[in-house]
Amino acid sequence: MLMKRKEVVVITGASAGVGRATVREFARQGAEVALIARGRDGLEAAAREVEACGGKALVLAVDVADAKQVEAAADEVEQKLGPIDIWVNNAMTSVFSPIKEMTAEEFKRVTEVTYLGYVYGTLAALKYMLPRDRGTIVHVGSALAYRSIPLQAAYCASKHAILGFFASLRTELLHDGSNVKTTMVQMPALNTPQFEWVRTRLPRKAQPVPPIYQPEVAARMIYHAAHHPDRREWFAAWSVIKAIFGNKLAPSYADHYLAKHGYDSQQFGGQVERNREGNLFYALPGDHGAHGAFDERAKTWSVEGWAEEHGKPLAVLVGIGIAGTAVGLMRRKAV
């Protein structure tokens, strides 16, 4: 009897945060996982988690800003694990800072990692997927791919660039009648290590703009999207839908709203180490895991994410969201 080949998945940014939670999700479902990031401690810990689920893991200590390293990583995956079925572009970095205090070098580096890292990953995946006319490329996106916020210009612009690149890629694959698919998952604020290790010059500690979700919410949605790649985009929470469609309706109002509230909503607590170097150019030592410092505030479940995974149309998601917002407002009034 022929044994079914295990799915081979490549995940960039696999050592921590969303990438790490996604590694666990794919491993739990029986995949072999190639792990791309720079930090060996996190990568090796992730590999042990895959092996504990009975899968094979391949550690690839690679900087995604280097196209040659990414291409060589794909070659190694094909040789050691077999044909790549799914490639998840996820790695990121950012600088939390007003634009007027940023350097040209910082803009370049964030763009190279956060945007070009996705382009290089896609090129490496296409090299193998196109000739065999099979495979899926998943882009991990954000509400900030549509709606920029203050203090994260380089990151927001990179996320917008990914959205533009993704749309061109999808149209070309459709034009060619290719069976290689691509899809994008737009994420809400997530409780990941990002906020403790990204370079920052904010006066207070950085936080994701609430409501905050656990990275497992993102991982489940990525897994689902990877297996339903005919759908163009996925919205992992109501806050994402609200930001994207609200911005389409009233972008100038959103500018003014964010000018007023977008500084405070990204910070909390006391002071942070001044001019923290962060992980912009080099990985930090240690295993940082999937979760950040916001376990107490983070939701483990998204009703919209659930509805997306269960094939409910966008109108249902909007209905659920509006009902949820109305209940929230009524509760606030009652207090």
Ligand X SMILES: NC(=O)c1ccc[n+]([C@@H]2O[C@H](COP(=O)([O-])OP(=O)(O)OC[C@H]3O[C@@H](n4cnc5c(N)ncnc54)[C@H](OP(=O)(O)O)[C@@H]3O)[C@@H](O)[C@H]2O)c1
Nearest distance, CB of residue 36 and ligand X, angstroms? 6
Rule CB under 6 A: say whether 16 interacts with ligand X: yes
189 is a contact residue toward ligand X (CB under 6 A): yes
Q: Is there binding between residue 88 and ligand X (CB under 6 A)?
A: no
Let me know if 155 is a catalytic residue. Answer: yes
The answer to the question of residue 38 lying near ligand X (CB under 6 A) is yes
How far is 65 from 111, CA to CA, in rounded Å?
9
Q: How many CB atoms lie within 10 A of CB 164?
A: 11
273 to 105, 288, 334: CA distances (angstroms): 21, 18, 40
Using CB under 6 A as the binding rule, whether residue 18 contacts ligand X is answered as: yes
CA distance 220 to 307: 12
Give the span between the Cα atoms of 200 and 97, in whole angstroms. Answer: 6
DSSP 276: B
Q: Least distance from C-beta 75 to ligand X, angstroms?
A: 17
Q: Is 86 in the site for ligand X (CB under 6 A)?
A: no
Least spacing, CB of residue 2 vs ligand X, in Å: 36
Q: 278, 197 in Cβ contact below 8 A?
A: yes
Interaction between residue 126 and ligand X (CB under 6 A): no
Q: Is residue 255 packed enough to be buried (19+ CB in 10 Å), middle (13-18) or exposed (0-12)?
A: middle
The region that residue 113 occupies, defined by phi over 0 for left and psi between -120 and 50 for alpha, beta otherwise, is: alpha
Nearest residue to ligand X on Cβ basis: 17
Q: Which of residues 44-63 bind ligand X (CB under 6 A)?
A: 63
Which of the ranges 14-22, 51-59, 173-181, 225-233 carries the binding residues for ligand X, by CB under 6 A?
14-22
Q: Looking at 155, 213, 223, 282, which residue is catalytic?
A: 155
> By the 8 A CB rule, do 213 and 233 touch?
no
Measured in whole angstroms, the distance separating CA 240 from the mean position of its chain's CA atoms is: 13
Structure tokens that stand for 31 in this block: 């995949």
Q: How far is the CB of 65 from ligand X (least distance, A)?
A: 5
d(CA 191, CA 194): 8
- Which stretch in 52-60, 123-131, 172-180, 182-190 sits in contact with ligand X by CB under 6 A? 182-190
State yes or no: residue 90 binds ligand X (CB under 6 A).
Answer: yes
**Cα 127 from chain centroid (whole Å):** 23
Say whether residue 229 binds ligand X (CB under 6 A). no
278 binds ligand X (CB under 6 A): no
Is residue 193 within the footprint of ligand X (CB under 6 A)?
Answer: yes
Of the residues 283, 298, 307, 317, which one makes contact with ligand X according to CB under 6 A: 283
| 22 sits near ligand X (criterion: CB under 6 A) | no
Contact residues for ligand X, defined by CB under 6 A:
13-19, 37-39, 42, 63-65, 90-93, 113, 140, 142, 187, 189-190, 192-194, 208, 279, 283
Positions marked catalytic: 155
